[in-house]
Amino acid sequence: MRAVPLSDLPEEEAIHLELSGVPICLARSDGVVHALLDECSHGQVALSDGEVTGGVVECWLHGSCFDLVTGVPTGPPAMVPVPVYPIRVVADIVEVAI
């Protein structure tokens, strides 16, 4: 599913998208784009409002970081992974498979 032009996603930032009713956190880190469910597994707040750095996104509310590749939290209080979705870039457009 077409999401956004790659140029709309700055390095080390995340944006919120709604694709087919699914909230998506689209994040770019170290030059790689990742798509996760845009909902922290701890407190149901948007991960796209958090900080992206070094391959993780940090939840702004309690500070759990989620690996952008696996969706696994790297520390408490979150314990449950968030779903991740495959992406590809075609002709500079980011596409997300949901």
In angstroms, give the least distance from the CB of 96 to ligand FES: 22
Considering beta carbons, is residue 55 or 77 the nearer one to ligand FES? 77
CA distance 51 to 96: 21
Under 8 Å CB-to-CB from 63, ≥6 apart: which residues? 75
Min CB(6)–ligand FES separation in Å: 27
Q: Which is nearer to ligand FES, 75 or 86 (CB)?
A: 75
Binding of ligand FES by 79 (CB under 6 A) = no
- CA 32, CA 23: separation in Å to the nearest integer? 20
Helix (H) or strand (E) holding 19: strand 13-19
Alpha-carbon gap, residue 77 to 3, rounded angstroms = 31
Which positions from 35 through 64 interact with ligand FES, judged by CB under 6 A?
40, 42-43, 45, 59, 61-62, 64
User: Binding residues for ligand FES, per CB under 6 A?
Assistant: 40, 42-43, 45, 59, 61-62, 64, 77-78
